[in-house]
C-alpha cells in the first residue's frame, strides 16, 4: 500500500513550524516605518532633482520662481547705496539731477530717488527680475528700469547722465569684462562715477544666491581698485569726494562697502 504524501502547508495548521514559503511571505511585508522612510527619501530626491534642473530651465528660457537676490543677501552694497544717498546729494549737488543706478534692486534705488521730485532717476538691472512687486513692474514698463547685460555696451547715448552709481555688479566681473564695462559706464556719465564695491573678508552671498554670472563675488582690496582705475584712465573725483567725507564725518557714517568717486 502506498504511503500518502503529506502537504507541508497543512503542518502549520496542525501546530508545526511554518513552511519555507510562509517565511518568505511574512518577510516581504515592509514595516510601516520603513515604508514611510522610503517615501520621505523619494521626496528628497525629487526636490534635489528639480533644484539641480533649475539651471537647465534657465538656459531654455524658462523663468525659475526662486530669485537669486544678491541685493538681499548679507554683504550687499546696494543697501549701502540707500544709506549713502543723503550724503551723495550733498557731495554732488546739482550734478545729481539725472542719475543712473547700475546693479541689482535698481527699482528700490530709482523709486527712492524719484520720490524726491527733483531727481531724474534711471536704472539698469544686470540680473533677471523675478518675483517683483507692482511698483517695480511699473518702473520697468515705463522704461525707468531696464534689464541689460553690463558685459556689453549700455543702451544709452554718451553723456546721458550727470552721475552713474554702481553697486553689486563689478565685483562679479573678471578683468576681461571690466576692461569693457568700466569705460562704458564712464561713457554715459558727464560728472563722474560712484562705485560701491565689497570689502575683502566681507560676508559673501550664499551659493543659492549667486548672481546670473554664475560665479561668486571677487572682493578686491582698495589698492587693487586704485591701480586698476589708474590703468583704465580714471582719476579720483577730488571735489565731490572731499564734500562726501565732510558730510559723512559730521554724522559718523561708516560705510560697510568701499566707495570710490571717479572723474570721467
For the segment 153-166, what is each residue's pLDDT rounded down to a tens digit?
Answer: 999 999 999 999 99
Residue 135: domain span: 77-163+174-263
Q: What percent of the chain has pLDDT over 90?
A: 50
- Answer yes or no: is 19 within a domain: no
Q: Has residue 20 got a pLDDT over 60?
A: no
By the 8 A CB rule, do 99 and 163 touch? yes
- Answer yes or no: is 152 within a domain: yes
Give the global pTM.
0.69
258 Cβ neighbours under 8 A, 6+ residues apart: 195, 196, 197, 198, 199, 222, 225
Q: Has residue 108 got a pLDDT over 70?
A: yes
Judged by phi (left if over 0) then psi (alpha if -120 to 50, else beta), residue 103 lies in left
Q: Name the pLDDT band for 63 (thresholds 50, 70, 90).
A: very low
- Answer yes or no: is 57 within a domain: no
- Quote the number of domains for the chain: 1
Q: How far apart are CA 237 and CA 96, in angstroms?
A: 14
Q: Name the pLDDT band for 36 (thresholds 50, 70, 90).
A: confident
pLDDT reported for residue 130: 66
- Answer yes or no: is 61 within a domain: no
Over range 197-212, report the average pLDDT. 62
Cell numbers describing residue 166: 554702481
Residue 128, domain CATH: 3.40.50.150
- Answer yes or no: is 24 within a domain: no
- Answer yes or no: is 156 within a domain: yes
- Answer yes or no: is 65 within a domain: no
- Answer yes or no: is 64 within a domain: no
Task: Among 50-54, 145-149, 238-242, name the one with the lowest average pLDDT.
Answer: 50-54
Amino acid at each position: 500500500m502506498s504511503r500518502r504524501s503529506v502537504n507541508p502547508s497543512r503542518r502549520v495548521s496542525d501546530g508545526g513550524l511554518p513552511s519555507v514559503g510562509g517565511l518568505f511571505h511574512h518577510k516581504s511585508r515592509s514595516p510601516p516605518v520603513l515604508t514611510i522612510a522610503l517615501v520621505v527619501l523619494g521626496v528628497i530626491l525629487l526636490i534635489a532633482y528639480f533644484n539641480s534642473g533649475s539651471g537647465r530651465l534657465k538656459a531654455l528660457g524658462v523663468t525659475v520662481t526662486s530669485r537669486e537676490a544678491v541685493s538681499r543677501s548679507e554683504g550687499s552694497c546696494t543697501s549701502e547705496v540707500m544709506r549713502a544717498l543723503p550724503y551723495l546729494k550733498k557731495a554732488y549737488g546739482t550734478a545729481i539731477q539725472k542719475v543712473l543706478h547700475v546693479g541689482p534692486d535698481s527699482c528700490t534705488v530709482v523709486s527712492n530717488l524719484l520720490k524726491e521730485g527733483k531727481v531724474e532717476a534711471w536704472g539698469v538691472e544686470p540680473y533677471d527680475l523675478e518675483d517683483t512687486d507692482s511698483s517695480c513692474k511699473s518702473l520697468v514698463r515705463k522704461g525707468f528700469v531696464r534689464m541689460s547685460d553690463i558685459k556689453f555696451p549700455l543702451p544709452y547715448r554718451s553723456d546721458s547722465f550727470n552721475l552713474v552709481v554702481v553697486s553689486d555688479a563689478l565685483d562679479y566681473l573678471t578683468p576681461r569684462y571690466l576692461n569693457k564695462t568700466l569705460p562704458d559706464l564712464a561713457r554715459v556719465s558727464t560728472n563722474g562715477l560712484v562705485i560701491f564695491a565689497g570689502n575683502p573678508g566681507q560676508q559673501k552671498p550664499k551659493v543659492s544666491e549667486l548672481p546670473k554670472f554664475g560665479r561668486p563675488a571677487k572682493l578686491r582690496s582698495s589698492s587693487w581698485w586704485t591701480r586698476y582705475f589708474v590703468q583704465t584712465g580714471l582719476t579720483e573725483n577730488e571735489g565731490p569726494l572731499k564734500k562726501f567725507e565732510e558730510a559723512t564725518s559730521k554724522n559718523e557714517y561708516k560705510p560697510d562697502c568701499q566707495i570710490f568717486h571717479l572723474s570721467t
